[in-house]
A = this chain, B = another copy of it.
Amino acid sequence: MGPTTPSTRERIIAAASKLFYSEGVRAVSVDAVADKAGVTKRTLYYHFKSKDDLVAAYLEGRDQPNLALFRRWFSEADGSVADKVRSIFHHLAVSARHPKWKGCGFLRTSAELANMPGHPAIKIGAAHKKRFEGWLSEMFESEGIASAEPLARQVVLLMDGAFAAGLLQRDASYMETAGDAAFALVNAAVPTKTRRR
């Protein structure tokens, strides 16, 4: 039972994903996506009613896999909650050292489409970040942290900052620094009884 042959629609999304992430959604033409997918432009427009639609599908396709990665990195890490949070940043720092790394696709797309506030892709990006923040908040709550929500938001802010600054400076170490700051904030919020000595 090997992997099913991807449908045309899936191949188009996969091609769009690679191109949009590496070049930016505005820099990539619909023709380029169709070529990369090995499909005519007309076929692409059979599956997606517009380029905006395709951009939305690109981000939609990254939502769940991204969250799954974060959850895995968190659960597989040893130590306290603070350590587990820092582990996510560490894994991101490793990715950021890859030459093809271009920051966060959600944030970059929202920056590119900042003049189209109601764009479906922006809504998807916003929802994605909210889901991540919500999950983090749950993790903190289950550790008895009182300020779980603002703390989760602060951690997300550090991560988004590291995405943005790391991309601007082309320096993956921003992600580690952000992880250290997140560690400090989370550790300070953990109830004294359970804080690691």
The 0/1 profile, CB within 8 Å of B marked 1, for residues 30-42 of chain A is 0000000000000
Q: Given A26-B27, A157-B162, A157-B177, answer yes or no on A114-B167 (Cβ-Cβ < 8 Å).
A: yes
Interface stretch of the complex, out of A5-13, A50-58, A73-81, A179-187: A179-187
How many angstroms from the CA of A114 to the CA of B165 in the assembled complex? Answer: 12
A71 at the interface (CB under 8 A from B): no
CA distance A154 to B161 in the complex (A): 9
Distance A170 CA – B159 CA, assembled complex (angstroms): 18
Q: Which B residues touch A174, using CB under 8 A?
A: 153, 157
Contact residue among B27, B157, B170, B185 (Cβ-Cβ distance under 8 Å from A115) = B27
CB-CB under 8 A from A94, the residues of chain B are none
Q: Write out the residue numbers on chain B whose beta carbons fall within 8 Å of the beta carbon of A108.
A: 111, 114
* Per-position binary interface string of chain A over residues 178-197, scored 1 when its CB falls under 8 Å from any chain B CB and 0 otherwise: 10110011001000000000
**Complex interface: chain B residues within 8 A of A107 (CB):** 111, 164-165, 168
Give the number of times this chain occurs in the complex, counting copies.
2
- Which residues of chain A in 150-175 are interfacial with respect to chain B, using CB atoms and an 8 Å cutoff? 150, 153-154, 156-165, 167-170, 174
Cβ of A117: which chain B residues have Cβ within 8 Å of it?
A: 170
**26 interchain pairs, CB-CB under 8 A:** A22-B115, A24-B26, A24-B112, A24-B115, A26-B26, A26-B112, A102-B114, A107-B111, A107-B164, A110-B164, A111-B167, A129-B165, A129-B169, A153-B174, A154-B158, A154-B180, A154-B181, A157-B161, A157-B174, A158-B161, A158-B181, A160-B160, A161-B162, A161-B164, A163-B164, A181-B185
